[in-house]
Chains A and B, each alone.
Chain A
Amino acid sequence: MSVEIRCALSAFLFYREVPPLGEEHLSKIEGATSIMNLFISLIAILVLTLLALGVAFSAGLAYLLTVIVPYAAFALFLAGFVYRVAKWAGAPVPFRIPTTCGQEKSLPWIKTNPLESPSGLPGVIGRMVLEVLLFRSLFRNTRADLYDQRPVYGSAKWLWFFGLLFHWSLLIIVLRHLRFFIEPIAPWISGISAVDGFFEIGIPTLYLSDIAILTGLSFLFLRRVVVPQLRYISLFTDYFSLLLILGAVGTGLLMRHFFPTDLLQVKNLALGWVTFSPVVPGGIGKVFYIHLCFVFVLIAWFPMSKLMHAGGVFLSPTRNLANDNRRNRHLNPWNAPVKVHTYEEYEDEFRDKMKAAGLPMEKE
């Protein structure tokens, strides 16, 4: 990618003005930070795809993928998720440390901010709902730039917007997939699909959530690759997680729009999983196997990766606690006695000086 395009992209993604490109600037961008983590992630995804192809062409491995792996992956996911959350939940919260982003409840005539500085459970629930469903904190995002020798803070809602787009479309897609697992298909699932394909573009209908998730993922991936600061902080897992989901989405779209898959077979397979009587499907298309591979790796990878933020966000003590510290005492389960300097010791040390200053004392 040329430097100019990258800068233009950077300007768009970060919604910032990019300084003019001097020679020095060029070399900086070209040479910036190790990009190894990105390459390794790409290689990992490539290897995964090849493995999936191998599976698709081998009957024995296909059995493994469609009969054994689904249970293994799902079991790993469930056990891992529960384990991780239990580990967090098991750790005590010694202090009540909400980050207060609004006026506390104090004097009755002062307007409080119940959602940003909740004084009780209803406010906390409201705050968490906003946080989990609408990414409230990310919505605050600004962009600091030096302009005319002073920092300015511009609005920067792109990360919020595309992040929200990605997460919500992922949820809708997962819910849509339930149609494979439930017979007869529940009306609400068909309802979601109908709304999702409302515009009836193309045959089969193009789902809006599919476009949305591709857009969201592309943004999240590109900003990681293009923006030097983000590339600098990105680890293997950051790229890999995105690419894995991108792989699952991509193969899903391929199946739906370019390499049609026998949906009856898919449904039989899925129902087989649910009823614990899985049967290896015949002639179901190679792309389907790759899709399955990506999905199972994703499911198994989930609990051991940063994707667990999905569970962790609910437990964050700066968000899920009320700002009522002085109203209700918070208990620390391991509160231990400490060595203090008592008044008696203090008076003993400074008795003469206190006396000289005429200060009242316990012992004269």
Chain B
Amino acid sequence: MSFVKIPTPDKLIAIRYEPPETSWMDTPTVFRPGTWSYSGAAKNLTALDMPNPRAWQPSDEDWKLPENWQQIILEGMRERLEKYRSFKLFMDICVRCGACADKCHFYIGSGDPKNMPVLRAELLRSVYRRYFTESGKRFGRLAGARDLTVDVLKEWFYYFYQCTECRRCSVFCPYGIDQAEITMMGRELLNLVGCNINWVIEPAANCFRTGNHLGIQPGGIKDMLEFIADDIEDRTGVRVEVPLNKKGAEILFVAPSGDYFADPGTYTCMGYLMLFHEIGLNYTFSTYASEGGNFGLFTSHEMAKRLNAKIYAEAKRLGVKWILGGECGHMWRLLHQYMDTMNGPADFLAEPVSPITGTRFENARSTKMVHIAEFSADLIRKGKLKLNPARNDALRVTFHDSCNPARGMGLFEEPRYIIRHACNHFHEMAEDTIREKTLCCGSGAGLGNDENMEMRMRGGMPRAMAVRQVKEKHGVNRLACICAIDRATLPPLMEYWVPGVTVSGVHELLANALVMTGEKDRTTDLRGQSLEGKTVDETL
């Protein structure tokens, strides 16, 4: 990870919150390097049958838009205003009270007024007023309306790909206006004329073809999981099995592909495998449904549905009873709030019951998919796991509520319950930065690419600073989370703002503490780091 091209932290933190002198409608968008993402490659658009595949970059003068691009956008807007009450309502009822303004991590980190959720929404509202309201048609700018021009489209692109759809603003809005909803619409519209970013479109295209974002083919998945099993054997002396595409398994397990692809996600994946082995779970991975995450959600509702369909289809084909899902943020937004509606009903599955504890997961009785934090918390509660939290004593842990499980699901207590039982040192960050008020990693919704690094460091700054506070106060050295994008993007964020803090999934911590049947004397944690001599200074 290279930070050479972006300002040093002490320069980046010198943020001015004064708006510019020119009105926002007259302030041009500058595509400054480090603050935007590369365009979607033509081959990926073609693979997904998406419009206007071509070679272009956002920094180009000519975006090679279709001739009738305005008509396409406006027609797309009309259609969505009729299909989504959220969109229509959120275009109409904002009073610009400004309560959302300094709730956005991108605004706090950049000071750019167009990163205030209210103004980000006005970018779209102004066009809505101009073409869809009487006052806007008649009074134009006086009514807050403006024409849809190429510059406006570019502005949309810049700022709708500077929103991580984290929903923090919607917690504070007195009318529940959700910028994530508006950004999703804005991105859908941009996609109609072929304006999207490769960090979203390539994973989506990969996922459509190979079943996962990273484009890993069946043999590769098997190799990676076997490799992880080797590591487990090395650390614990226990050989775990890696069931793949197994018909007749009781449970289909779906994780984000990041968890078996790269560190530190792989340690979380080790945690899954060790847990399932220890409790003797009859489950299977799938190479076809090898991704729970869904970058379609950052493209359009239709694409989200196309990519999500494989999960139920695979559950049906394999004849499992229900589905268990790994630690991932936007994956769970989709599984919790969209999957059943989009691709249900899952009437071929059974209401989830834990085969170990007999607990009936009534909250998942229709969707038939359970979050692994719910599943493991239940195991601990029922005394089915033998845990030795002292094995995590070298770690002083804090927990980052990932945006989507927090504000799109309400999953707060289960991961904390697991951490408290797996670790002896757990410290919460400041109240205004956790739970429903959690601050985004700054790289979600497809923005976690290297070319966008400055914006990521800006957007992640509020989260990082909250971590720095507990580091200074309690000596925190481990940031736990339940999101694969977090595990991929928080490490560079920590490296930049809070060196010395590592990142892990909750199930890595659980597996560190998990006493397995037949294990050897465990001298290292899952990362191979010695358990000895790393005990933290108790005087801190």
Using a CB–CB distance below 8 Å, which chain A residues touch chain B? 28-29, 31-34, 36-37, 40, 84, 87-89, 91-97, 99-107, 109-111, 113, 116-117, 119, 131, 135, 137-138, 140-144, 146, 149-151, 153, 159, 163, 227-230, 232-238, 304, 306, 308-309, 312-313, 315-319, 323-332, 334-335, 338-343, 346-347, 349-350, 353-354, 356-362
Contact = CB atoms under 8 A, between A and B. Distances in A.
A131 B462 CA distance: 28
Contacts of B336: 325-326
B99 A313 contact: no
Contacts of B437: 140, 142
B54 interface: no
A171 B8 CA distance: 53
A151 B108 contact: yes
Interface string B71-112: 000000000011111111100111111110111000010000
Contacts of A340: 306, 309-310, 313
Given A238-B96, A338-B305, A342-B313, A34 B245 contact: no
Contacts of A229: 17, 19, 98, 101, 113, 116
Given A97-B178, A104-B409, A327-B365, A315 B89 contact: yes
B209 interface: yes
Given A101-B407, A142-B102, 19 more contacts: A28-B18, A91-B83, A92-B84, A94-B301, A95-B301, A110-B413, A113-B410, A137-B99, A137-B171, A232-B23, A232-B24, A232-B113, A235-B144, A316-B89, A326-B336, A343-B288, A343-B314, A353-B219, A354-B218
10 contacts: A99-B171, A99-B407, A150-B469, A233-B118, A317-B89, A327-B365, A332-B342, A356-B219, A359-B218, A362-B317
Among all A-B residue pairs, the 5 with the closest Cβ atoms:
A104-B410, A100-B410, A312-B93, A318-B176, A153-B432
A92 B94 CA distance: 20
B364 interface: yes
A94 B84 contact: yes
B241 interface: no
Contacts of A228: 18-19
B397 to A, nearest CB: 20
B134 A151 contact: no
A10 B302 CA distance: 46
B85 A88 contact: yes
Contacts of B344: 329
B499 interface: no
A343 B88 contact: no
Interface string B265-298: 0000000000000000000000110000000000
Contacts of B118: 233
B533 to A, nearest CB: 33
Name the residue in A40, A99, A325, A334 with the highest tally of chain B Cβ atoms < 10 Å from its Cβ.
A99
A105 B94 contact: no
A34 B20 CA distance: 10
Interface of B: 10, 13, 15, 17-24, 49, 81-89, 92-99, 101-103, 108, 113, 116, 118-119, 122, 134-135, 142-144, 167, 170-178, 181, 208-211, 217-219, 222-223, 244-247, 287-288, 301-302, 305-306, 309-310, 313-314, 317, 336-338, 340-342, 344-345, 359, 361-367, 369, 374, 377-378, 381, 406-414, 417, 430, 432-433, 436-437, 461-462, 465, 468-469
A361 B286 CA distance: 11
B367 A304 contact: no
Given A304-B134, A306-B94, A32 B19 contact: yes
Grouping DSSP codes into helix (H, G, I), strand (E, B) and loop, the A interface class, with mixed when no group exceeds half, is loop
A15 B260 CA distance: 48
A274 B103 CA distance: 48
Given A163-B97, A330-B341, A357-B219, A100 B84 contact: no
A103 B412 contact: yes
A35 B201 CA distance: 42
A228 to B, nearest CB: 6
B93 A99 contact: no
A86 to B, nearest CB: 12
Contacts of B223: 357
Given A88-B85, A137-B172, A359-B287, A107 B381 contact: yes
A325 B413 contact: no
A102 to B, nearest CB: 6
B436 to A, nearest CB: 4
Interface centre among A101, A131, A309, A331 (most CB of B within 10 A): A101
Contact of A329 (B86, B113, B359, B366): B366
A144 B108 contact: yes
Contact of A319 (B119, B176, B417): B176
A142 to B, nearest CB: 6
Nearest to A345: B209
Contacts of A163: 97, 174
A362 to B, nearest CB: 8
Nearest to B364: A326
A97 B337 contact: yes
Nearest to B97: A159
B85 A159 contact: no
A102 B410 contact: yes
Contact of B413 (A99, A111, A237): A111
Contacts of B116: 229, 233
B89 A237 contact: no
Contacts of A347: 288
Contact of A318 (B170, B364, B369): B170
Given A107-B374, A144-B103, A341-B310, A315 B85 contact: yes
Given A101-B436, A131-B174, A106 B414 contact: yes
A16 to B, nearest CB: 10
Contacts of B222: 357-359
B366 A92 contact: no
Contact of A142 (B170, B410, B414, B432): B432
B15 A146 contact: yes
Given A153-B432, A309-B95, A327 B19 contact: no
Contacts of B84: 91-94
B102 A144 contact: yes
B93 A329 contact: no
Contacts of B178: 97, 99, 318
A94 B469 contact: no
Contacts of A362: 317
Contacts of B82: 91
Nearest to A313: B175
A93 B83 CA distance: 8
A329 B217 contact: no
Contacts of A334: 83
A326 to B, nearest CB: 4
Contact of B83 (A94, A100, A339): A94
Contacts of B359: 107
A343 B365 CA distance: 26
Contacts of A232: 19, 23-24, 113, 119
A329 B366 CA distance: 6
B175 A346 contact: no
A230 B314 CA distance: 51
A103 B413 contact: yes
A230 B100 CA distance: 11
Nearest to B20: A33
B412 A102 contact: yes
Contacts of B23: 33-34, 36, 232
A357 B290 CA distance: 16
A267 to B, nearest CB: 34
A311 to B, nearest CB: 8
Contacts of B412: 102-103
B302 A338 contact: yes
Contacts of B417: 110
Contact of B13 (A119, A149, A313, A330): A149
